[in-house]
């Protein structure tokens, strides 16, 4: 079995790659930082085959090389983990538009194109899987994280739809909705991490393990961690006017 993991140079993607190798899966690891991928390959040396693919997935030409690798019938990929992603935080009208555009290209466009490249082969073989990293933050609009939450709402909607389309095909689609997880993600912006108490945080290893367990069980969605299952439930049940009031109060303290 071979899995392709995007964003494997750190955080949740790296944890997925390590966990998959522990299970005896060969991995193709994708990210922009070659040194980090080489470090990972060294760590995994002798345990499984590790193929390095350096690509900026927000760049159409570099994305095309990864699409081609996924569609290569000679070297089939059994599992695609669409994990690469980042978020921007702050009042939308003040954020640099190029970064917002890049966020949509990575979190949405790359995920759709890679899934589209991987699925025909999987469907033809009658087996395979796609794991998409969404977020509990995509469950409702999120003032202060407008673009990020919207990209994750897209991922959840898209994943649920294709999971339903592929039922009975032998190909599984799993939508993963993590909550706060300690990774490099928080280095890229003020995500309110300073307001979050220690025990609420997940580790990337917990997220990867719980996701793979859910995939084994044939589930199409997982919210790793009891605390975030509760958050997701409350968010889904709360009417938007109420959520908006609560969130506006909370985000005013941040910016």
Ligand X SMILES: NC(=O)c1ccc[n+]([C@@H]2O[C@H](COP(=O)([O-])OP(=O)(O)OC[C@H]3O[C@@H](n4cnc5c(N)ncnc54)[C@H](OP(=O)(O)O)[C@@H]3O)[C@@H](O)[C@H]2O)c1
| Chain CA centroid to CA 190, Å | 19
Nearest CB to ligand X, comparing residues 125 and 213: 213
Nearest CB to ligand X, comparing residues 21 and 84: 84
- Token digits for 121? 């082969």
Catalytic (active site) residue 228 = no
CB of residue 83 vs ligand X: minimum separation in angstroms? 5
CB atoms within 10 A of CB 127: 15
- Return residues touching ligand X (CB under 6 A): 6-13, 31-33, 36, 56-58, 83-87, 106, 133, 135, 178, 180-181, 183-185, 204
Burial 3-25 (b: 16+ CB within 10 A, else e): bbbbbbbbbbbbbbbbbbbeeeb
CB of residue 33 vs ligand X: minimum separation in angstroms? 3
CB of residue 85 vs ligand X: minimum separation in angstroms? 2
Nearest CB to ligand X, comparing residues 9 and 159: 9
For ligand X, the nearest residue by Cβ is 11
Q: Are 16 and 83 in contact (CB under 8 A)?
A: yes
Query: Which residue of the set 16, 148, 158, 185 is catalytic?
Result: 148
Distance of alpha carbon 70 from alpha carbon 206, whole angstroms: 27
Residues annotated catalytic, as ranges? 148
């Amino acid at each position: 079995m071979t899995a392709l993991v995007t964003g494997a140079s750190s955080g949740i993607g790296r944890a997925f790659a390590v966990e998959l190798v522990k299970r005896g899966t060969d991995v193709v690891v994708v990210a922009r930082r070659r040194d980090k991928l080489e470090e990972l390959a060294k760590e995994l040396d002798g345990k499984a085959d590790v193929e390095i693919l350096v690509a900026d997935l927000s760049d159409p030409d570099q994305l095309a090389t990864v699409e081609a690798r996924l569609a290569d019938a000679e070297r089939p990929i059994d599992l695609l983990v669409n994990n690469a992603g980042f978020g921007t935080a702050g009042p939308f009208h003040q954020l640099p538009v190029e970064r917002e555009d890049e966020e949509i290209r990575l979190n949405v466009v790359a995920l759709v194109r890679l899934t589209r490249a991987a699925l025909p082969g999987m469907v033809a073989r009658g087996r395979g899987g796609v794991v998409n990293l969404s977020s509990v933050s995509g469950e409702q609009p999120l003032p202060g994280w407008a673009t990020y939450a919207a990209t994750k709402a897209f991922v959840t909607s898209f994943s649920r739809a294709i999971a339903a389309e592929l039922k009975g095909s032998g190909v599984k689609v799993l939508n993963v909705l993590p909550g706060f997880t300690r990774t490099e993600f928080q280095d890229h912006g003020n995500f309110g991490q300073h307001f979050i108490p220690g025990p609420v945080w997940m580790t990337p290893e917990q997220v990867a393990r719980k996701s793979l367990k859910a995939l084994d069980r044939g589930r199409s969605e997982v919210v790793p961690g009891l605390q975030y299952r509760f958050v997701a439930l409350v968010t889904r049940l709360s009417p938007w006017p109420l959520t908006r009031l609560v969130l506006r109060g909370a985000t005013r303290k941040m910016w």
